[in-house]
Amino acid sequence: MERLWSPWRSEYIETLRSPDEECVFCDIANRENEDEKVFVVQRRKFNYVVMNIYPYNNGHMLVVPYDHVDNITQLEDEVLNESMFLLKSLTTVLAGIFKPQGFNLGLNLGEAAGAGIHEHLHFHIVPRWKGDSNFMPVLGKTKVISTDLKLGYEKIREQINRLFPV
């Protein structure tokens, strides 16, 4: 069996961890005055929305509860309700900006389930297009992201705050 590795993900995760914080998501949550630097597009009462800076596709976003838990059963209903509201809102925003043909909405609970950061639960929303998994990542070991990260961040942040203000 062939294995495809993505060691850049570990490098990315490690670059965001500060010496004072064990959890990258808690670190981002505590950097309220640095939203643009860490690509947070919106903060709500129970969750924040952050752009994945090493995305699988254009517009790959994360909804992250402030609560440092590793299982969905540990979240209060009001946290989950807001998480679902944000995923719904992001679907609207990303559809308007990127015009995808579909979305993957995901939650990986535990390392065995594929969670890259398994100690802090987070939801993914990934815009998808027919044929977006082509020969480049499979044979060329390269993922083509066609949108400038900063430009995409600015568009998403402007739209979510305009359409779904806090």
Which residue in 68, 118, 120, 122 is the catalytic one? Answer: 122
Contact 121, 72 (CB under 8 A): yes
Dihedral pair phi/psi, residue 127, rounded to 5°: -65, 145
Would you call 122 a catalytic residue per the annotation? yes
Structure tokens at 145: 């992201």
SS3 category, 155: helix
Question: What is the C-alpha to C-alpha distance for residues 163 and 166, in angstroms, rounded to an integer?
Answer: 10
Q: Please state, in angstroms and rounded to a whole number, the distance separating the CA atoms of residues 146 and 58.
A: 7
Instruction: Return the number of other C-beta atoms located less than 10 Å from residue 62's C-beta.
Output: 23
Q: Give the residue numbers annotated as catalytic, written as ranges.
A: 122
